[in-house]
């Protein structure tokens, strides 16, 4: 707030009122750490307009490398209201592996990819998405919006989200968010692992591989959109 006040040459209270107004109109938003960034009215006209087909092209190099590194199923998700939608993925070559593209009905709060995306939203956006409460889900461990908010604090601190049989029995996952140059969350990359093979001791390895993949993805997203031919 102090930086904004100095930039605009106004007192902090005036800067706050201006930012609140910009958030209301969609020109600014707050992320999970309450930092201000470009809102959907601005970000949406830049990289936020990438179609699922374009995102598949942009993120392919990242998920291919992650798939080679871990040999686990890799999936790409986008937020679709209170749920997540699958847009791309690569399966593990191991005999026991997770299938891709069969989880579109999962609430975001019950999936690793969804949590990674929700953690980047400000309080108002999070509450708006869940205005009717959390969608009931049989294997969910989070049951209230307040519990979800507390959980997302941990996700932001860790830089990744975990899903331990919350979306489906027998499946664990870890995911991280991909942002555009304006800091707006555009997708999540997840690693889906059969629970019988998932090891908490390997979480640092999974997280490091994910961070590398996200770096590759965000570098690609920073390139001009004209480079991407929509395959949808």
Q: What is the CATH number of domain 2-43?
A: 1.10.10.10
Question: Do 162 and 174 touch, CB atoms closer than 8 A?
Answer: yes
Half-sphere exposure for 69 (CA within 13 Å, toward CB): 17
Angle between helices 52-70 and 203-221 (to 10 degrees): 150
* Torsion angle, alpha carbons of 59, 130, 158, 29, to 10: 70
The SS3 assignment for 137 reads coil
The CATH code of domain 47-227 reads 3.30.450.40
Q: Return the top range by mean pLDDT from 13-17, 79-83, 212-216, 222-226.
A: 212-216
Q: Are 66 and 159 in contact (CB under 8 A)?
A: no
Per-residue model confidence as pLDDT tens digits over 87-121: 999 999 999 999 987 767 799 999 999 999 999 99
Bridge partners of residue 37, in order along the sequence: 29
> What is the model's pTM?
0.78
Handedness of CA 188, 180, 218, 63 (dihedral sign): positive
Question: In degrees rounded to 5, what are phi and psi of residue 182?
Answer: -85, 0
Closest CA to 120 of 187, 69, 165: 187
Query: Hey, where are the domains in the chain?
Result: 2-43, 47-227
Kindly tell me if the per-residue pLDDT of 229 is higher than 70.
no
Give the pLDDT band of residue 47 (cuts 50, 70, 90): very low
Integer CA distances (angstroms), 161 to 10, 131, 207, 229, in order = 39, 23, 9, 31
């Amino acid at each position: 707030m102090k930086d904004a006040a100095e930039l605009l040459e106004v007192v902090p209270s005036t800067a706050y009122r201006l930012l609140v107004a910009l958030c209301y109109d969609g020109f600014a938003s707050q992320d999970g750490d309450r930092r201000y960034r470009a809102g959907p009215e601005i970000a949406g006209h830049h990289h936020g307009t990438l179609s699922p087909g374009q995102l598949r092209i942009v993120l392919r190099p990242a998920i291919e490398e992650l798939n080679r590194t871990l040999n686990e199923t890799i999936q790409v998700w986008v937020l679709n209201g209170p749920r997540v939608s699958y847009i791309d993925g690569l399966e593990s070559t191991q005999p026991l592996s997770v299938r891709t593209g069969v989880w579109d009905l999962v609430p975001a709060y019950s999936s690793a990819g969804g949590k990674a995306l929700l953690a980047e939203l400000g309080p108002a956006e999070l509450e708006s998405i869940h205005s009717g409460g959390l969608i009931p889900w049989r294997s969910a461990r989070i049951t209230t919006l307040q519990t979800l908010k507390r959980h997302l604090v941990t996700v932001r601190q860790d830089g990744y989200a975990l899903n331990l049989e919350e979306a489906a029995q027998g499946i664990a996952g870890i995911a991280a968010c991909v942002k555009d140059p304006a800091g707006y969350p555009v997708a999540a990359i997840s690693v889906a692992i059969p629970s019988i093979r998932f090891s908490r001791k390997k979480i640092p390895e999974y997280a490091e591989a994910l961070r590398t993949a996200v770096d590759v993805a965000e570098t690609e997203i920073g390139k001009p959109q004209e480079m991407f031919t929509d395959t949808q």
